[in-house]
Amino acid sequence: MTAIHVSEVGPRDGLQSIERVMPLEAKKRWIAAEAAAGVSEIEVGSFVPPTLLPQMADTADLVAFAKTLDGLRVVALVPNAKGAQRAADAGVHAFSLPFSMSETHSKKNLRKDHAQMLEEIAACAEIARNHGIHFEVGLATAFGCTIEGAVPEDQVVRLAEAAIGAGAMEVGLSDTTGYADPAQVRRLVRRVKAAVGDDKLDTLHLHNTRGLGLANVVAGLEEGIITFDASLGGLGGCPFAPGASGNIVTEDLVLMLNSMGHDTGIDLEKLLEVRGILEEALPGEPLYGFTPDAGPMLDYNERTAA
Amino acid sequence: MTAIHVSEVGPRDGLQSIERVMPLEAKKRWIAAEAAAGVSEIEVGSFVPPTLLPQMADTADLVAFAKTLDGLRVVALVPNAKGAQRAADAGVHAFSLPFSMSETHSKKNLRKDHAQMLEEIAACAEIARNHGIHFEVGLATAFGCTIEGAVPEDQVVRLAEAAIGAGAMEVGLSDTTGYADPAQVRRLVRRVKAAVGDDKLDTLHLHNTRGLGLANVVAGLEEGIITFDASLGGLGGCPFAPGASGNIVTEDLVLMLNSMGHDTGIDLEKLLEVRGILEEALPGEPLYGFTPDAGPMLDYNERTAA
């Protein structure tokens, strides 16, 4: 079956959504343990000013550490070209810039309108090219915005094309607000792929705010998506709290993909053990997911046998 | 978009999974309120001996009451021909017999092997024909069994054909144990439809034991399934407790289907109000679902507009 990549974004999206700061050593244990379980891509942090997000102050250290782990693709989020330069200096394999499809959200989140964001994308692209780094633009609020409401699909398609035109090597669709449904995922993936090229949209970043996260993954798989972001234990994700993350849960995603016969390269039992690191480093922090309690699935080969 | 039916099975599958007996008057309020919210099919109870399941002792009364509600299809579960006769006498529109694909489970659950179950199906079919009632066989443990483990797909296909051959008017696939994954759902629906006829498999009964319930719904939709069982509030469903139901949550299912643009005929806001009846009649009983807390989706028409 198809190889599907699971990109762990908990050290970035999960940790930036909670108030507590996880100690650097715990972050390292977490990242190393996930890599050892077979996770091949981790977004280790964000190059935002530490005054804004003290949880992310050690991102450069984490990049350096993560790069020592065999076969791991080390990714960081950047809010602008300044962050991109820091990411490049730190030596990431790839960086990702969020570009909000809702202009209101863009102005509120990064204080830039769409035109200014496209300039920023061009500047980031130049840094990426100069350093031989992969540069992806995450199309945030692509499925709707809590401020603007519905975001027209034509607008998403147009801005995806503009981002590629400005130098992004790839775009991803992000359901920042948990509004996506499976029909919308299929429609929008198909339309954006048609506009920017089949190989320039590989990734979905889904949230589980309304419980549709894995249903949306299925829709994405049907449309040829091969990389899904997820957060261990759904960290940071009481999905109903304002501003909370609510990423889909890595363990449940891996259970589903492995059970479907996809090759994730991830050992689910080893992955489940990594939860212990979060429980120890962030006592009392709610963790989510069905898999830890429900027990394993039946063996794939036995189930498909006649 | 396609009309999709949501069949509420909480009054049967939910209530038989908890120890408390819901008073008849509360059951009536529940059923009437769901029908008023637009739910067009409800499994109101089970014609099992009241000594075995006192929760279901008032099923005949519920059938009589539910038949007074405009446009509602009234369904009951029957364990054997004796139950089918009681269901027919009570005047159900349809009854459903569970036929476990795992022979071990069949013997344990209904004390009959597969050959004996096929005789029971033939006897039920005769009762159904004589009374002009629809008779469906639910292929239980079709995706795996907690006792036997994997159930070969060839066996499910063969027993589905045998059930139709013995007189079942329709078969449904039941993930009694929460082992189904979306790839397996697509495969098995396709194979059973090919074997028994496209119009003789319309229904999936899914559980959410491992969080894959709605993902499996998406897979079923892709294969032309048009009826999905679900339980309000996931009643009876702490999904990890032994013997617990863990049905998919009606509210979340309706949120997803409506959001995808399917015509369920159900008013989600009215449906959400029905939870209050459960909370009042069964204080302290855990209810599940993301929808009640997460708030509504964006308007379908706005989202699909250019």
Cβ burial, residue A134 (10 Å; 0-12/13-18/19+): middle
Average pLDDT, whole number, for chain B? 94
> Quick one: which H or E segment has residue A227?
strand A227-230
Nearest residue of B to residue A208, measured between CA atoms: B290
Nearest residue of B to residue A244, measured between CA atoms: B294
Q: How far is A88 from chain B (nearest CA, A)?
A: 37
Catalytic entry in B147, B238, B260, B297: B238
Residues of chain A contacting residue B181, judged by C-beta atoms under 8 Å apart: 256, 259-260, 297
A238 at the B interface (CB within 8 A)? no
A260 at the B interface (CB within 8 A)? yes
A302/B181 CB distance under 8 A: no
B263 by DSSP, 3-state: which?
strand
Average pLDDT over residues B15-29: 94
Find the CB nearest B178 among A214, A294, A299.
A294
Residues of chain B contacting residue A179, judged by C-beta atoms under 8 Å apart: 297-298, 303
Reply yes or no on whether the pLDDT at B238 is more than 70.
no
CA angle A276, A280, A282 (to 5 degrees): 115
Nearest residue of B to residue A289, measured between CA atoms: B211
B145 is catalytic: no
A297/B179 CB distance under 8 A: yes
Nearest residue of B to residue A179, measured between CA atoms: B297
Find the CB nearest A211 among B153, B290, B298.
B290
Find the CB nearest B214 among A149, A179, A214.
A214
B193 by DSSP, 3-state: which?
helix
B249/A211 CB distance under 8 A: yes
Residues 187-206 of A with CB under 8 A from B: 187
Greatest distance between any 2 Cα atoms in chain B: 60
The Cα–Cα gap between A38 and A16 comes to 24
B259/A183 CB distance under 8 A: yes
Helices (H), chain B: 24-37, 59-66, 81-90, 103-110, 114-131, 153-165, 182-196, 213-222, 250-259, 268-281, 291-294, 300-304
Residues of chain B contacting residue A302, judged by C-beta atoms under 8 Å apart: 149-150
A23 by DSSP, 3-state: which?
coil
Positions in chain A short of pLDDT 50? none
- The domain of A278 spans 5-304
Query: What pLDDT sits at residue A295?
Result: 77
Find the CB nearest B305 among A152, A181, A291.
A152
Neighbours of B280 (CB within 10 A): 10
- pLDDT digit string (tens) for B126-146? 999 999 999 999 999 999 998
B294 at the A interface (CB within 8 A)? yes
- pLDDT digit string (tens) for B74-125? 999 999 999 999 999 999 999 999 999 999 999 998 899 999 999 999 999 9
B181/A260 CB distance under 8 A: yes
B183 at the A interface (CB within 8 A)? yes
Domain holding B299: CATH number? 3.20.20.70
Query: What pLDDT sits at residue B31?
Result: 98
B210/A261 CB distance under 8 A: no
B249/A153 CB distance under 8 A: no
Average pLDDT over residues B278-286: 95
The Cα–Cα gap between A46 and A52 comes to 11
Reply yes or no on whether the pLDDT at B243 is more than 60.
no
Residues 207-236 of A with CB under 8 A from B: 208-212, 214-215, 217-219, 221-222
Q: State ipTM.
A: 0.94
Q: How far is B129 from chain A (nearest CA, A)?
A: 34
**Tally of structural domains, chain B:** 1
A64 at the B interface (CB within 8 A)? no
Find the CB nearest A209 among B143, B294, B305.
B294
B179/A209 CB distance under 8 A: no
The Cα–Cα gap between B107 and A30 comes to 47
The Cα–Cα gap between A184 and A153 comes to 9
Nearest residue of B to residue A147, measured between CA atoms: B298
Catalytic entry in A238, A244, A260, A297: A238
B212/A217 CB distance under 8 A: no
- pLDDT digit string (tens) for B38-47? 999 999 999 9
Give B305's pLDDT tier (boundaries 50, 70, 90). low
B259/A299 CB distance under 8 A: no
The Cα–Cα gap between A11 and A42 comes to 8
A131 by DSSP, 3-state: which?
helix
Q: Which of B110, A262, B9 is nearest to A297 (CA)?
A: A262
Residues of chain A contacting residue B302, judged by C-beta atoms under 8 Å apart: 149-150
Q: How far is A65 from chain B (nearest CA, A)?
A: 34
Residues of chain A contacting residue B183, judged by C-beta atoms under 8 Å apart: 259-261
Tokens 């489940």 belong to which residue? A272
